[in-house]
Structure 1
Amino acid sequence: MPKRVDHDQRRRQITEALWRIAAERGIEAVSIREVATEAGMSIGLVQHFFASKDEMLMFATSHLREKLEGRIRRGLTALPEPATPLETLRALLVALLPLDHDSREETLVGIAFFIRALNDPVLATRYRQGRDQLTAAVADQLRAIRRDAKTDLEPTTETRPEPTTETDLELTAETLLALVEGLASDLLLGRHSPQQALRILDHHLQTSTRGLTR
Structure 2
Amino acid sequence: MPKPVNHHARRQLIAQALWRVVDEQGWSKATMREVAREAGVSLGQLQHYFSSRAQMLAFGVECASEETARRVGEALEQLSQPPHPRDVLRAVLYEMLPLHPGARATSRMQAAYVLEAMHDGALAERVSEGMRGGRAMVEECIRDAVRIGHLPESTDVALETDLVLALTGLGPLLELNVIEPGAALAAIDRHLERLFDLRP
TM-score for the superposition, normalised by structure 2 = 0.89
Aligned to 2:68: 68
Q: Is 1:173 matched up with 2:161?
A: yes
| Residue range with higher mean Cα deviation, 194-203 or 79-88 | 79-88
In 2, Cα distance between the equivalents of 1:112 and 1:103? 14
Q: Is 1:143 matched up with 2:133?
A: no
What amino acid sits opposite 1:102 in the alignment?
G
Q: Which of 173, 186, 189 is the matching residue for 2:176?
A: 189
Aligned to 2:191: 204
Superposition pairs of residues 46-57 of structure 1, within 5 angstroms: 46-57=46-57
Given that 1:31 and 1:53 are in contact with CA atoms closer than 8 Å, whether structure 2 keeps it comes out as yes
Given that 1:23 and 1:112 are in contact with CA atoms closer than 8 Å, whether structure 2 keeps it comes out as no
Displacement, 1:9?
Answer: 0.9
Give secondary structure in 2 for the equivalent of 1:149: coil
In 2, Cα distance between the equivalents of 1:147 and 1:32? 49
In 1, Cα distance between the equivalents of 2:197 and 2:129? 29
TM-score for the superposition, normalised by structure 1 = 0.84
Could you list the per-position Cα deviations for residues 73-96 of structure 1 after superposition, in whole angstroms to 9, with x for gaps in the alignment?
112111122312222222222221
Displacement, 1:11?
Answer: 0.9
Aligned to 2:39: 39
In 1, Cα distance between the equivalents of 2:94 and 2:128? 21
Larger Rg: 1
Displacement, 1:150?
Answer: 7.4
Percent of aligned pairs with the same amino acid = 36
Given that 2:139 and 2:158 are in contact with CA atoms closer than 8 Å, whether structure 1 keeps it comes out as yes
In 1, Cα distance between the equivalents of 2:28 and 2:44? 21
Given that 2:61 and 2:109 are in contact with CA atoms closer than 8 Å, whether structure 1 keeps it comes out as no
Displacement, 1:70?
Answer: 0.9
In 2, Cα distance between the equivalents of 1:94 and 1:18? 23
Could you list the per-position Cα deviations for residues 58-112 of structure 1 after superposition, in whole angstroms to 9, with x for gaps in the alignment?
2112112111211211121111223122222222222212121120111111111
Could you list the per-position Cα deviations for residues 42-73 of structure 1 after superposition, in whole angstroms to 9, with x for gaps in the alignment?
11111112122122112112112111211211
Give secondary structure in 1 for the equivalent of 2:5: coil
CA distance change for structure 1 residues 28 and 46 in 2, over 3 Å: closer, same or farther?
same
Q: Which runs of 5+ in 1 are unaligned?
A: 152-160
Give secondary structure in 2 for the equivalent of 1:107: helix
Displacement, 1:207?
Answer: 1.6
List structure 1 segments (4+ residues) > 3 angstroms apart after TM superposition: none
Aligned to 2:12: 12
Aligned to 2:100: 100
In 2, Cα distance between the equivalents of 1:68 and 1:193? 21
Aligned to 1:30: 30
Displacement, 1:209?
Answer: 3.4
Displacement, 1:139?
Answer: 1.5
